[in-house]
Structure formats: C-alpha cells, structure tokens
A and B are shown apart, each in its own frame.
Chain A
Amino acid sequence: MRIYILYGFGILLCISGVGYLAAEYIKYLSEPGKLACLALTTAMFALFGRYFDERGW
C-alpha cells in the first residue's frame, strides 16, 4: 500500500513539474503557436484515452 502512495506522489510531482515547465515555455510562443499546441494537446489526450479504452482500462 505504501509503495502505491509513493508512486502517486512521484506521478503528482512529475505532472506538476511538466505543467510548470509548459506554463513557463508557453509565454514565449506566438499566438498561432499557442493555438496549434492547444489543438495538438487536446488530440493527444483524446488519443491516449482511446488507446487505454481499447486496452480495457
């Protein structure tokens, strides 16, 4: 059980780190670049969702 808490903590740290870096980097993107990134991020999460759905998660 404790190992899963550690995994969860590590995953949270990773997500927050990536989120922070993305927020910092996106400041320097142009407006069309931000829009394209948003579209690709949405598509990426949707495709990941579909993939895991097909795997029976």
Chain B
Amino acid sequence: MVMVIRKTKNLYLYLALACFVGIVAIFVADGYFGVYDIVYVTSQEHEQRIEPDYWQQPWVKEQGYGVGTSWGEPVYFKYRIENRTFSIHEDEVEASIWRSGEKIKQLLDESVSVAPFKDATVEWKLQPEDLGETDLGLGGYREYTVRIGFGDIERKVILSYYREVPGYPEKGVPQSVPVPSR
C-alpha cells in the first residue's frame, strides 16, 4: 500500500523524465531518418569523402568543397544517396561543370530511384577535354566548379587545376677549380 502511494506521488516526476527521454530520442531519430548524400571525389589517386554534415557549415554554402588536381588528369566522381525513410525516393541527379558563372558542359543527368532504407550510387568521370580548354595559360592555375544537384540539394565542388612544374635540374658534381698557388 505504501509502495503504491509512493509511486503515485512520484508519477509526475517519472512522466517528466519520460518526456526528457522522449526529447533525446527525437534528436537521435531525427538525425538518423532522412535522405542523405555522400560525394566522393578522386583526383591523383586520392579519394576524398564529403559527408552530408560538411555542407551544413555556414561558410561551405558559399565556397563549396575544394579539390586540387593536376592539369590533364581525369577526376572521378561518385555520388551516393542513402534513403532512410519509409517511402521510395526518386529524383534526378545532375552534374555540370561551370566557370565564371557559365555552364561549360552537362556531365550527368540521370533519374535515380532509391528504395526505403537502401542506397544508390552514381558515378561519372570528368575528362580533361570536358573543360573546353587545352592549356592553363600563363598563370598555370585555374578553378572550375562542379555542381551536383539531387532534387532540392545542390553541392559545389571547386576544382583547382595547376600545372605540374618540372623539378629542379639535376646538379652535376662541381668541377674542380685550380687552387691558386701562393
């Protein structure tokens, strides 16, 4: 009897604690459920994985993700979509290359359908000839923007091309200089 009275007395406390647990559970579930995308960029044998959290930083929305590569090298892209919802997610994946606000070429335009709690991956390659230039010019450095779109989501990858500078010429053994006699 005493136990029942005490339980009833603390009922509101337990309910309040249950609400707190519910708030924490909402944070966890909200972070898990949704449609997420991961961008993989491979240049010069280095694969870089760009997680969806990265794009939520305030400065990234303006600047995008920077990748440096050598002029004349192909760049490989992989776009993975994870559907953590209870319905099928279907949308267009678009990728295009831009410079100075002008679209140079459409690299990809593909419809993708992702089943609930499954993922889908789209791959494409950016060839040097897709850039529309044959030479880097005098500066030896140029930037391009690859825009990846999937529904309302847009990701920007800034590709910085630079020219491979030849190494220093090999130095030969210094020739012996005759020592002046006193």
Which A residues have a C-beta under 8 Å from some C-beta of B?
25, 28-30, 33, 36-37, 40-41, 43-45, 47-48, 50-51, 54
Contact = CB atoms under 8 A, between A and B. Distances in A.
Contacts of B29: 33
B175 interface: no
B13 A43 contact: no
Query: For the complex, would chain A's binding face be called helix, strand, loop or mixed by DSSP majority?
Result: helix
B12 interface: yes
Contacts of B15: 43, 47
Q: Is the interface of B mostly helix, strand, loop or mixed?
A: helix
Contact of A47 (B16, B30, B34): B16
Given A28-B31, A37-B27, A40-B19, 13 more contacts: A28-B56, A29-B26, A29-B27, A29-B30, A33-B29, A36-B26, A37-B23, A43-B19, A44-B16, A44-B23, A45-B16, A47-B19, A51-B16
Given A28-B31, A28-B56, A30-B30, A51 B23 contact: no
Contacts of B141: none
A44 to B, nearest CB: 4
B13 A51 contact: yes
B26 A48 contact: no
B153 to A, nearest CB: 15
B9 interface: yes
B23 A40 contact: yes
